[in-house]
């Protein structure tokens, strides 16, 4: 009986979420459905997760999906490192920094970079730079740009990026 109820819920919710996404606006009902999915422990279901992403994006509110799925990604990273003793590589750290940046946790992203067991590369500093720009952390943005410059000193685009940062701050003479 319980499994047939769960199967019915799993078959109905993606359709209900799809119908809400056609409206193009998030309302209380959308948030209630999302809350029900989480409370029932169904947030790991691929069909439901895809339906939620679709709903948030069609409603022009993809930042909410970053918050929702960003938090889930952070939880998995902590499980991976803490519970399963898996050592992440540069790419995984870069993804984690990107997730932290998307949810506005720029300081936490920097702390993660500083705690890495190896020297961060461009796939770590790039997302951090983007997060600093999006959330207006000018000093951290300059730091990230300089670290990328250290990694790619011969790339003209790096200098252009750095000059744009200083120009935005009105500090042309600091180059």
Return d(Cα 63, Cα 21) in angstroms, integer: 15
- What pLDDT, on a 0 to 100 scale, did the predictor assign at position 106? 93
pLDDT tens digits, 134-168: 888 888 988 998 898 898 888 777 778 778 777 87
Per DSSP, the three-state class of 141 is helix
Q: Is 175 exposed, middle or buried (0-12, 13-18, 19+ CB in 10 A)?
A: exposed
Q: List, in order, residues 6 or more apart from 71 with CB less than 8 Å away.
A: 103
Dump pLDDT digits (tens) for 7-44. Answer: 555 556 777 777 766 655 566 677 788 888 888 888 77
pLDDT band at residue 67 using 50, 70 and 90 as cut-offs: low
- DSSP 3-state of 153: coil
Q: Which residue has the higher pLDDT, 119 or 23?
A: 119
**Confidence check: pLDDT of 120 > 90:** yes
Q: At residue 114, does pLDDT exceed 90?
A: yes
Q: Please determine, for residue 111, whether its predicted confidence score (pLDDT) is greater than 90.
A: yes
pLDDT of residue 1: 43
- 129 burial (CB, 10 Å; 0-12 / 13-18 / 19+) is buried
Question: Domains, the chain, ranges and CATH?
Answer: 2-60 (no CATH), 70-174 (1.25.40)
- pLDDT score recorded for residue 5: 44
Task: Compute the distance between CA of residue 137 and CA of residue 116 in angstroms, rounded to an integer.
Answer: 21
Q: Decide if pLDDT at 63 tops 90.
A: no
Q: At what angle do helices 90-102 and 106-115 cross, to 10 degrees?
A: 160
Span 80-96, pLDDT tens digits: 999 999 999 998 899 89
User: Residue 62: pLDDT above 90?
Assistant: no
Do 39 and 75 touch, CB atoms closer than 8 A? no
Nearest-angstrom CA–CA distance, 60 and 142: 31
Q: How far apart are CA 31 and CA 37, in angstroms?
A: 10
């Amino acid at each position: 009986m319980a499994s047939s109820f769960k199967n019915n819920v799993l078959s109905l919710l993606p359709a209900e979420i799809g119908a809400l996404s056609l409206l193009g606006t998030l309302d209380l009902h959308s948030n209630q459905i999302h809350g029900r999915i989480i409370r029932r422990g169904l947030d790991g279901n691929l069909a439901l997760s895809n339906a939620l992403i679709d709903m948030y994006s069609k409603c022009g509110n993809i930042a909410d999906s970053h918050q929702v799925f960003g938090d889930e990604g952070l939880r998995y990273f902590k499980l991976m490192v803490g519970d399963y003793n898996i050592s992440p590589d540069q790419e995984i750290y870069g993804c984690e920094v990107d997730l932290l940046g998307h949810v506005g946790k720029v300081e936490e992203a920097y702390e993660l970079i500083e705690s890495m067991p190896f020297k961060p590369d461009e796939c770590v500093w790039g997302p951090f730079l983007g997060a600093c720009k999006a959330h207006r952390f000018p000093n951290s943005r300059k730091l990230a740009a300089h670290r990328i410059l250290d990694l790619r000193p011969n790339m003209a685009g790096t200098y252009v990026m750095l000059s744009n940062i200083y120009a935005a701050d009105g500090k042309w003479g600091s180059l």
